Structure 1
Amino acid sequence: MYMEIGCFVSCLSGWILVCSTLPTDYWSISDSSESVLTIPDFYNNLWKNCIADGTGSSNCKDYPSMMALPGFLQACRALAVSAVILGFFGGVLTLIGMKCTKIGGSQVANARVTFSGAITYMVSGFSGMSSYSMWASKTVSEFMNTDFRGQKYELGAALFVGWGGSILLILGGVVLGFLSGKEIILYNKYLPHGFNTSRATARTRLTLGGASFHEGRQSRATTKTVQTLGRDSFV
C-alpha cells in the first residue's frame, strides 16, 4: 500500500509539472548575453511568439489560424495536450484501484484498475516526452545549421521541467504496473484452484447433507409406521 502511495505521489507530481509547461512562455529563447549591442530577446512556446526589449516590457503575438500552422507545431500541441488528459484519467483510475481508498471492490478488481491507471500514466509520460523531444530536436538542428538564416533559439526552461515531469510519470507508472501486475498474476495462478476446490467441497457437503437429511426423514417415517402398527395391534 505504501509503495502504491509513493508511486501515485510521483505520478501526480510529474503530471503537475507537465501541466505547468503548457502556459509557460519559455519553450525556446534567443540568447543575446554575448552581444555588445542591446538587442531584444525572442522567445516562443506552443501558442505564441514573444519579444522582450531591454526595459523589460514584452509583446506577444499568437500564432495564426490552426489550419495554417506547420505539422511539427500541431504534433507537439497534440502530444502535450494528450499527456495532460491521459495523466488526469490515470490519476482517477489509480485513486479508484488503490488499496487505501477501497473503492474498486474486491482485491483483484482493484489490482486490475490500478494496472490500467499505471498503463495510462506511462502513455502520458511517453506523450509528453515525445512532445518536448521533438521541440528540442528542431531547436537544436536549426541552431547548429549554418545555412539557416532565421532566428535561432536555445532550449527553454519549460523543456527541462517537462522532461522531469515525464520521467516521474514513466517511472511511477512502471513501478505501479509491476506491483499490480504481479498481484494479478498471483491471483490467476493460485486462487482459481482454491476456488474450485472450495466449490467441490461445498457441493460434496450439500450432497452428504441432503443424503443424511433424506435418510433422517425415512427413519422418522419408519418409526412412525412402527408406532402406528404397534398401537393398532394393541387395540
Structure 2
Amino acid sequence: MACCTLQMVALLLGSIGMVGTFTVTLMPQWKVSAFTGNNIIVFEKIWEGLWMVCVSHINKYQCKFYGSLLALPPALEASRGLMCTACGLSAVTFLIAIAGMKCITWPVSNEQMKSKILLAAGGIFLLTGVIVLIPVSLVANNIIRDFYNPVNPLARKHELGAALYLGWITSVFLISGGAMFCSFCHCAEKSGGYRYSSPASHRLNKPEDVRRKPLSVNTYV
C-alpha cells in the first residue's frame, strides 16, 4: 500500500512537470526588456519567447509571431526543438507511467512487467528534465552575458523572464518524479514475488500427501 502511494506521488510530480513543460514552451516571457526612453511618459516592456514577441506600451498589449524560420538565430531554433521534444516525451511518459502503476491492473497485470515499465518511465522522466534544463539555462546564460556586456546599448539589454524560472522548477519536478519511479520500482518486484508463490507447492511437502509403499510381510511356514 505504501509503495502504491509513493508511485502516485511520483506520478503527480511527473504530471506537474508535464504541464509545466507545455506552459514554458508557449510562454513569451523568456526574455524581458524594460527600459525608459528620453521621454519620461514613454514606457515600454518587450517580451520575447520561442514563438512570438510581445510589446506592452502603457495600456496597450500586442503580440506578433516570428515571421521567418530561416531568419531565427540558431540558439532559438535549438531551444524550440528541445522544448518540443520535451513536450512529446513528457506526454508519452505520463501514459507509460500510468500503465505501470501497481494500483492499476489495466492494460498490464504482470507485476514484473509493471516494474520494468516504471523503470523505463522514470528514466525518460529524468531525460525530459535534463532536456528542459538545457535550453532554459542556455537562454539565461546568454541574457546574463549580454546584460553585463558594456558594448550592448541599454535598449538591447534583457532580464530573466518568468518562463525561465518556471522552466527550472519544471525540470526539478520531472527529475524528482523520474528518480522516485526508478527508486521504487524494486518495491513492486518484492511485493510481487510473494504473489507468485503458489500454496500448492507447500501442500506437496505435507506428510499426508506422501504416499507410503505398503510393507511386504514374508511369512515362513
What are the residue-to-residue correspondences of 1:1-235 with 2, within 5 Å? 1-32=4-35, 37=40, 38-54=42-58, 56-103=59-106, 104-149=108-153, 151-181=156-186, 183=188
Alignment: residue pair count:
194
What residue in structure 1 maps to residue 207 of structure 2? none
Unaligned runs of 5+ in 1: 202-207, 213-235
Relative distance call for 1:63 and 1:19 in structure 2 (3 A) is same
Bigger CA drift: 30-39 or 124-133?
30-39
Contact 2:21 2:132 in 1 (8 A): yes
User: Following the alignment from structure 2 to structure 1, what is the Cα–Cα distance between the partners of residues 181 and 39?
Assistant: 53
2:92 corresponds to which letter in structure 1?
F
Give the deviation of 1:9 after TM superposition.
0.5
TM-score, with structure 2 as normaliser: 0.78
Unaligned runs of 5+ in 2: 205-209, 214-221
Relative distance call for 1:52 and 1:9 in structure 2 (3 A) is same
Higher helix share: 1
1:9 corresponds to which letter in structure 2?
L
Higher strand share: 2
Larger radius of gyration: 1
SS at match of 2:26: coil
User: Following the alignment from structure 1 to structure 2, what is the Cα–Cα distance between the partners of residues 102 and 36?
Assistant: 67
Greater relative contact order (Cα 8 A, min sep 6): structure 1 or 2? 2
Contact 1:21 1:158 in 2 (8 A): yes
Q: CA RMSD in A?
A: 2.7
User: Following the alignment from structure 2 to structure 1, what is the Cα–Cα distance between the partners of residues 138 and 186?
Assistant: 32
Give the deviation of 1:58 after TM superposition.
2.3
2:101 corresponds to which letter in structure 1?
M
Relative distance call for 1:168 and 1:33 in structure 2 (3 A) is farther
Relative distance call for 1:39 and 1:114 in structure 2 (3 A) is same
User: Following the alignment from structure 1 to structure 2, what is the Cα–Cα distance between the partners of residues 17 and 182?
Assistant: 29
Q: Sequence identity, in percent?
A: 22
